[in-house]
């Protein structure tokens, strides 16, 4: 491997689809997997439950957001 890849989620693609696209996918997947800030209790405890659905493990709120990120900087 010529280049060290630090973003693990894109490994499943192998050498396919091109480097640029894989980097994009990896960035989005990283965004969707990390903990997000809850708009209700302001804790960073929100995880993606399903596509566009987010759940807070702190205040148990379930709400809809964008597909890969909670979205909205309020």
Per CB under 5 A, residues contacting Zn ion are 38, 40-41, 56, 58-59, 61
CA pair distance 43, 26, nearest whole angstrom: 25
Report, in Å, the least distance between residue 13 CB and Zn ion. Answer: 34
Does residue 49 sit in helix, strand or coil?
strand
> Least CB distance from residue 50 to Zn ion, whole Å?
17
Question: What span, in angstroms and rounded, lies between the C-alpha atoms of 49 and 45?
Answer: 12
Query: Is 33 or 42 the residue whose CB approaches Zn ion more closely?
Result: 42
Question: Residue 10 or 32: which CB sits closer to Zn ion?
Answer: 32
Residue 19 or 62: the one with the smaller Cβ distance to Zn ion is: 62
* 15 DSSP β-pair partners: none
Closest CA to 54 of 72, 74, 69, 73: 69
Minimum CB separation from Zn ion for residue 46, in Å? 7
């Amino acid at each position: 491997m010529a280049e060290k890849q630090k973003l693990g989620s894109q490994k499943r693609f192998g050498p396919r689809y091109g480097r640029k696209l894989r980097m994009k996918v990896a960035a989005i997947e990283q965004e969707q997997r990390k903990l997000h800030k809850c708009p209700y209790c302001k804790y960073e405890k929100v995880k993606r439950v399903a596509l566009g659905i987010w759940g807070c493990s702190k205040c148990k709120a379930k709400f809809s957001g964008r597909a890969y990120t909670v979205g909205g900087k309020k």
